[in-house]
Amino acid sequence: MKVMEENFLVAKNIVAETGLKHIAIIMDGNRRWAKERHLPSAFGHKEGVSALKRTLRAADDLGIKYITVYAFSTENWNRSPEEVRFLMDLLASTLKNELDEMHDNGVVISFIGDIDALTPQLKQVVNNAVEKTKDNKGVHLQIAFNYGSRMEIVSACKKLAIKVKNGEINLDNITEESLSKLLYTSEIPDPDLLIRTGGEMRISNYLLWQIAYSEFYVTKSFWPEFNKDLLCDAVIEFGNRNRRWGK
């Protein structure tokens, strides 16, 4: 217990000293966690919700302002209809059941991705969560749902092309900054740290533009196992990195 407390204090100091503001997470391993325990994948996804709540509390304790999680990718539609339906229902039930607690804790909820593709009922639940928490001052939870980074970048390029076509800007005005402003994440700083659980070593079409200079941290622990101690481990490793920004 003493070591855990010491790690937390070290991690908290690192957040303060480095200015670590934003952690993006690929929440991988729900199904593998369930399979190892001979349980249906639904149990893994439900336990993943508990892991997210633990992570938000830990992030708040550490002083981390933004957490972005990869909840449902554009490629996840290729899973079985039963699992897709379950994940949609899980989002709805989680927002309904946990919203009051998150609101009381000051959590700000926002979404990135093609939310218009969701059912009207689910869109209403999503919009209600965003509207209710928009003025909170705590951790900002950004949920990537029906999100794909390539799709996001293509969408931003199309918007720029329309501006050029309409004479609003010319080609010389197209810069990294002008494109960044048209991404879903335009109001939030780029991630300082990207954490992937489950041991896989790939990005999976996640925040490709935004993580250009993010530090990567991969843990073999599955997402349902993620907790305050594992988050502190990631932050401490971040503190050991030498971020040179290409210099």
Which two three-digit tokens encode residue 215? 């530090």
pLDDT digits (tens, 9 = 90+) for 129-169: 999 999 999 999 999 999 999 999 999 999 999 999 999 99
pLDDT tier, 212 (very low <50, low <70, confident <90, very high otherwise) = very high
Can you tell me the distance from the alpha carbon of 217 to that of 203, in angstroms, rounded to the nearest whole number? 11
pLDDT tier, 243 (very low <50, low <70, confident <90, very high otherwise) = confident
- Which residue reads 């991969």 in tokens? 218
pLDDT digits (tens, 9 = 90+) for 75-116: 999 999 999 999 999 999 999 999 999 999 999 999 999 999
Res 106: pLDDT = 96
- Give the distance, in angstroms, between the CA of residue 196 and the centroid of all CA atoms in the same chain: 11
- Which residue reads 């927002």 in tokens? 95
Type of residue numbered 147: Y
pLDDT tier, 4 (very low <50, low <70, confident <90, very high otherwise) = confident
Can you tell me the distance from the alpha carbon of 75 to that of 206, in angstroms, rounded to the nearest whole number? 11
Q: In sequence order, what are the residues at sequence separation of 6 or more whose Cβ sits closer than 8 angstroms to the Cβ of residue 85?
A: none
pLDDT tier, 3 (very low <50, low <70, confident <90, very high otherwise) = low
Type of residue numbered 246: G
Res 152: pLDDT = 97
Taking all residues of the chain, what is their mean pLDDT, rounded to a whole number? 95
Write the CA distances from 151 to 160, 183, 192, 234, integer angstroms. Answer: 14, 10, 22, 29
Can you tell me the distance from the alpha carbon of 98 to that of 28, in angstroms, rounded to the nearest whole number? 21
Res 246: pLDDT = 76
Which of 23-37, 165-179, 223-237 has the weakest average pLDDT? 165-179
- Which residue reads 């992030």 in tokens? 59
Catalytic residue IDs: 28, 76
Which two three-digit tokens encode residue 21? 């503001």
Can you tell me the distance from the alpha carbon of 103 to that of 126, in angstroms, rounded to the nearest whole number? 14
- Beta bridge mates, 140: 66, 108
Can you tell me the distance from the alpha carbon of 131 to that of 151, in angstroms, rounded to the nearest whole number? 25
Res 2: pLDDT = 64
Res 1: pLDDT = 60
What's this model's pTM, rounded to 2 decimal places?
A: 0.94
Phi, psi (5° rounding) for residue 215?
Answer: -85, 140
In the chain, % of residues over pLDDT 70: 99
> Which domains does the chain possess?
2-148+191-240 (3.40.1180.10)
Residue 245, pLDDT above cutoff 80: no
Can you tell me the distance from the alpha carbon of 223 to that of 221, in angstroms, rounded to the nearest whole number? 6
- Beta bridge mates, 112: 144
Return the SS3 of 159.
Answer: helix
